[in-house]
Structure 1
Amino acid sequence: MKKILFALMLAVSVVACKSSTSAVSTKVDSKVQSSLKGNWTIQSVTYPNSNVFKVNSFQLADSQCFVGSAWKLVANNDSGTMSIEKGGCPSFSSPIKWYINKEGQFVLKVLNAGEKAKRVKDGYVLSVANVTESSFQLVDVVDIAGKQTNIVYQFVKN
Structure 2
Amino acid sequence: MKKSILICMIAAMFFACKSASSTASTDTTLSKKLDRPTQVAIKGNWVLTNVTYPGSDYIKVNSFDLADSKCFIGSTWSFISNNNKGNMALTSPSCTSFSSPIVWSINNQGMFILKILDAGEKAKKVREGYLLKVAGVTESSFQLIDNINVGGQVKDVTYQFQRAN
Q: TM tier, shorter chain?
A: 0.7 to 0.9
Alignment RMSD: 1.3
Local SS of the residue matching 2:71: helix
Gaps of 5+ in 1: 1-21
1:75 equivalent in structure 2: 81
Runs of 4+ in 1 over 6 A off after TM superposition: none
1:52 equivalent in structure 2: 58
Which protein is bigger by CA-based radius of gyration? 1
Letter in 2 for 1:49: G
Distance apart, 1:27 and its partner CA: 4.1
TM superposition score normalised by structure 1: 0.84
CA contact (8 A) 1:26 1:102 kept: no
* Bigger relative contact order (CA 8 A; separation at least 6): 2
Local SS of the residue matching 1:33: helix
Alignment of 1:2-151 (within 5 A): 22-151=28-157
Letter in 2 for 1:109: K
Counterpart Cα distance in 2 of 1:110 and 1:144: 25
Gaps of 5+ in 2: 1-27
Identity across the alignment (%): 52
Local SS of the residue matching 2:146: strand
Aligned length: 138
Counterpart Cα distance in 2 of 1:73 and 1:110: 13
TM superposition score normalised by structure 2: 0.81
